Amino acid sequence: MAWNFAAGPARLPDAVLAQAGALFRRADDGACCIERPFSGPHFRTALANARQRLAGLLDLPSNYRILFMAGGAMQQFSLLPMNLARAGQAVAYADSGYWSRRARQEAGWSGPVIEAARHPGASALAAPVAGKWALPANCAYCHITPNETADGIAYPALPDTGAVPLVADCTSSLLLAPLAVDKFGLIYASAQKNIGPAGLCVVIVREDLLERSPAALPAVFSYRRQVEAGSCVNTPPMLALEMAALVFEWIAGQGGLPAMAAANQAKAALLYGAIDGSGGFYRAPVEVAHRSPVNVRFELAVEALTERFIEQAAAAGLQHLRGHPQVGGLRASLYNAMPLAGVEALVDFMADFARRHG
């Protein structure tokens, strides 16, 4: 059997794929679900259902709104300052690795950017130190990336940004475990990790921040206008939304986010245990307390063996283990849809490879 350890687009739950075929079957009106008008009752019911399911999983506070927007997280890199910052107002970004730097770079086109905090050292091997961060009172927001997909780093605790709204790119961490949504002003997550197919981005925003969206902002880019239109200023990514609803239902059926957290902790413990117990043959470069529970970054002590490991792993059905091009090495992504059996197969292969090449 083959196992997909890609960082994204990632594996979908088997049960969801089994159900997905029904999305393409035409009903008595001659249309399947993605052929009907997005303004019609069938799709609006499906949209409301997806929103309700996600809100239930997150135990969403009543003063937050869910947006389903076309595009990915990188689009939000630009939309955040456009919606939340006044002209010339500074925004703050914490540097925890590759994706937080990409987000900061895009925000820089809109106005001044303050570095709220950064990882220690020349290369990111740990998240910035949490605690109270000193930020200007007039700062529009403070942005973090709680889980760095490329670097394999996760924040062990959230920072205290005081009155400055905390904004987070949760693309690779949303729905992995229960989340205190009320700690954030805004959360966004591209779909292709734990939600569904690429092309959809979930934005969860506190109601008071919606008033910041400038009236002159194009409607399709405006959080306020999208909330007012129920995420339907333009045609939403209908198939991705229908798939996401199936994923939300699957998570609820598994026991919700507490069950996801327990399963993910078990998978991560198994893989990190194999790395740490290899006698130095494998190494996880990230500090233990800052290791991502879902994007496990590791490397071989003998770097020359890396290509051989990747080739032989692929031949054994263990796919997409090459690390991000910016950091190299190896990476195994263990999103919700990856069962424990896949991690067990990887760990068994790693032990065998070490016996043969150690």
Catalytically active residues, by annotation: 99, 169, 193
Residues 63, 55 contacting (CB under 8 angstroms) = no
Task: Give the pairing type, strands 159-160 and 131-132.
Answer: parallel
Cα separations (Å) of 153 from 59, 107, 125? 26, 22, 7
Name the nearest CA neighbour of 335 among 187, 217, 137, 194.
194
The gap from C-alpha 237 to its chain's centroid, in whole angstroms, comes to: 18
d(Cα 142, Cα 116) in Å, to the nearest integer?
7
Strands (E), the chain: 3-4, 64-70, 91-95, 113-118, 131-132, 142-144, 147-148, 153-154, 159-160, 166-169, 186-190, 200-206, 282-283, 295-300, 318-319, 330-333
- Per DSSP, the three-state class of 9 is coil
d(Cα 16, Cα 133) in Å, to the nearest integer?
42
Phi, psi angle pair for 132, to nearest 5°:
-90, 125
The residues, any chain, with a CB within 8 Å of residue 71's CB and separated by 6 or more, are 199, 201
Widest CA span of the chain, in angstroms? 65
Burial bucket for residue 292 (CB in 10 Å: 0-12, 13-18, 19+): buried
